[in-house]
Amino acid sequence: MSAEKTIAAVSTPHASGGIGIVRISGERSLAVADKIFRTTSGKIPSRSKGYRAYHGRVWDNEEVVDEAVCLVFRAPKSYTGEDVAEISCHGGLYVTQRVLRAALNAGAEPAEAGEFTKRAFLNGRIGLEQAEAVMSLIAAQSDTAAKAALNALDGALSGKIRGTASSLIAACAQLAAWVDYPDEDIEEIRPENLKEVFARAKAELTSLLDGFEAGRAATEGVNTVIVGRPNVGKSTLMNLLSGYERSIVTECAGTTRDVVEETVRLGGIVLRLADTAGIRETDNPVESIGVGLAKKKLELAGLILAVFDGSDPLTDDDRRLLESCRGKTVVGVVNKSDLPRSIDLDYIKNMTSRTVEISASEGEGLETLVECVEHLLGTDRFDPGAAMLANERQRQCCERASRRLDEALEAIDTGLTLDAVNVCADAAIDALLELTGEKAGEAVVNEVFSRFCVGK
């Protein structure tokens, strides 16, 4: 079973404590380790017999990223059955991301969801009996990865990437139309014009890549959304969680999200709490925008805390909320336990993963809630590395696109014909569109037909 690419990803368990592990697996994993890790003893990872740990430093581009430990495993005695290098660094999540990036820069590629496990199975490290479970795992992790990718795509950054892609597609569409319909009177493409477009796109990508560097905080924690109809006590709960004993509240600096979130570390788990509007049916246009945003956040959430007022019977809005949470990881938080209970608890229990009763105002039931959340998040469904990987993947795509544009510009400069230039430009578009799963060819063809009046 061939291992094609060498892959890398973050595989840190939830109990972060500030340690991040980047795992690299594949034919060239140890070569990658050689490039990015310099051991204190001077030993070379790729010459290791395996089952060894080395202390040293991680380097990326002539810079030290962190002091770390590198574990070397040799095929077949590793998790995946291939050569594996695991670098444990302890500078926090931002640094872990830098280590991941170093690995990617040194030739590893971002792992697909569940790819390590898949390789483990394909190399016989996981038995047949677990195959079913593994396949479900991949599905679940790809779900999480997809959400992480969507989250990463959200906001100004993805808008910029799409903008660059669009201008390239437009140029290539013009080129394609000019080539595929030479007898129609399509404006001729002059190499100078193409150069302009490519140079501009390259500049856009360069500034994007710089932006990745400049203090973009790694997103950590599970996307948690607190939802419920107005006045059930969401804000109180939010404050309570933030003020929890030994919790740390940080505002994510430099985030591309439109909403400021609070990252709350509760003992062993980290939640990224998003403030949402009360979800209910409304005609008010301003409110409905807020409700729309809340619903969108619901879709992308890894954990939902659905709050209900225990002293009121279930309303239609409550029921609708529960319905929209179906199939997701949701804790039913029945608030106001200090008041006599009127709500139908069983109904809520049926519709949620767990249910707890609390009194946010009194600060009661919080331990149970935290335990609940810890339990739910302790499963393998949650991949903390997914967000980081999504970010790195985005970055890699921009890097690749930028390099292809360099080639396209060079081709124009050396006087190569436009067909060769076009192929480089297509490759740049492919790299950018990878994030949304489209292919350059189709995007360009669609653009041709919508922009140009071309016949048979």
From candidates 153, 170, 199, 445, binder to another protein by CB under 8 A: 445
Query: Does 2 sit near another protein (CB under 8 A)?
Result: yes
Closest CB to another protein among residues 122, 217:
122
**99, 145, 294, 388: which one contacts another protein (CB under 8 A)?**
145
User: Can you give the three-state secondary structure of the chain, one letter per residue?
Assistant: CCCCCCEEEECCCCCCCCCEEEEEECCCHHHHHHHHEEECCCCCHHHCCCCEEEEEEEEECCEEEEEEEEEEECCCCCCCCCCEEEEEECCCHHHHHHHHHHHHHCCCEECCCCHHHHHHHHCCCCCHHHHHHHHHHHHHHHHHHHHHHHHHHCCHHHHHHHHHHHHHHHHHHHHHHHHHCCCCCCCCCCHHHHHHHHHHHHHHHHHHHHHHHCCCCCCCCEEEEEECCCCCCHHHHHHHHHCCCCCEEEECCCCCCCCCCEEEEECCEEEEEECCCCCCCCCCHHHHHHHHHHHHHHHHCCEEEEEEECCCCCCHHHHHHHHHCCCCCEEEEEECCCCCCCCCHHHHHHHCCEEEECECCCCECHHHHHHHHHHHHCCCCCCCHHHHHHHHHHHHHHHHHHHHHHHHHHHHHCCCCHHHHHHHHHHHHHHHHHHHCCCHHHHHHHHHHHHCCCCC
Residue nearer to another protein on the CB measure, 182 or 254: 182
- C-alpha distances out from residue 143 to 114, 129, 301, 396, Å: 10, 23, 11, 21
Contact between 179 and another protein by CB under 8 A: the answer reads: yes
CA–CA gap between residue 219 and residue 93 (Å, rounded): 8
The least CB distance from residue 310 to another protein, in Å, is 36
Build a one-symbol-per-residue string for 123-142: x at contacts with another protein by CB under 8 A, - elsewhere.
-----x--xx-xxx-xx-xx
Distance of CA 78 to the CA centre of its chain: 26
**C-beta separation of 91 from 19 below 8 A:** no
Q: Which is nearer to another protein, 109 or 275 (CB)?
A: 109
By CB under 8 A, is residue 181 in contact with another protein?
yes
Instruction: List the interface residues with another protein, window 382-421 (CB under 8 A).
Output: 414-420
- Least Å from the CB of residue 234 to another protein: 32
Among 85, 104, 176, 222, binds another protein (CB under 8 A): 176
Which listed residue (4, 213, 281, 364) binds another protein by CB under 8 A?
Answer: 4
Q: Which of 27, 34, 67, 112 binds another protein (CB under 8 A)?
A: 112
Of 185, 245, 283, 323, the residue at the interface with another protein (CB under 8 A) is 185
Closest distance to another protein from the beta carbon of 386 (Å): 12
Indicate the residue among 4 and 362 with the shorter CB distance to another protein. 4
- In terms of CB distance, is 51 or 449 closer to another protein? 449
The reply to whether 323 sits near another protein by the rule CB under 8 A is no
What's the min distance (Å) between Cβ of 400 and another protein? Answer: 13
Whole-number Å distance between alpha carbons of 48 and 74: 8
Site for another protein contains 118 (CB under 8 A):
yes
Residues that bind another protein (rule: CB under 8 A) add up to a total of 53
Cα–Cα dist 208/157, whole Å: 8
Question: Closer CB to another protein, residue 52 or residue 328?
Answer: 328
- Selected from 43, 239, 316, 449, the binder of another protein by CB under 8 A is 449
| Binding segment (CB under 8 A) for another protein, from list 78-86, 106-114, 311-319, 368-376 | 106-114
CA separation for the pair 263, 250 (Å, rounded): 6
- Using the rule CB under 8 A, which residue among 61, 64, 77, 184 binds another protein? 184
What is the nearest approach in angstroms of another protein to the Cβ of residue 174? 11
Between residues 121 and 244, which has the closer beta carbon with respect to another protein? 121
Q: Which stretch binds another protein (CB under 8 A): 15-23, 42-50, 314-322, 442-450?
A: 442-450
Stretch that binds another protein, among 59-67, 253-261, 365-373, 438-446 (CB under 8 A): 438-446
Q: Which is nearer to another protein, 112 or 275 (CB)?
A: 112
- Contacts with another protein by CB under 8 A lie at 1-2, 4, 112-115, 118, 121-122, 128, 131-132, 134-136, 138-139, 141-142, 145-146, 172, 176, 178-185, 414-420, 422-424, 426, 437, 441, 444-445, 448-449, 453-456
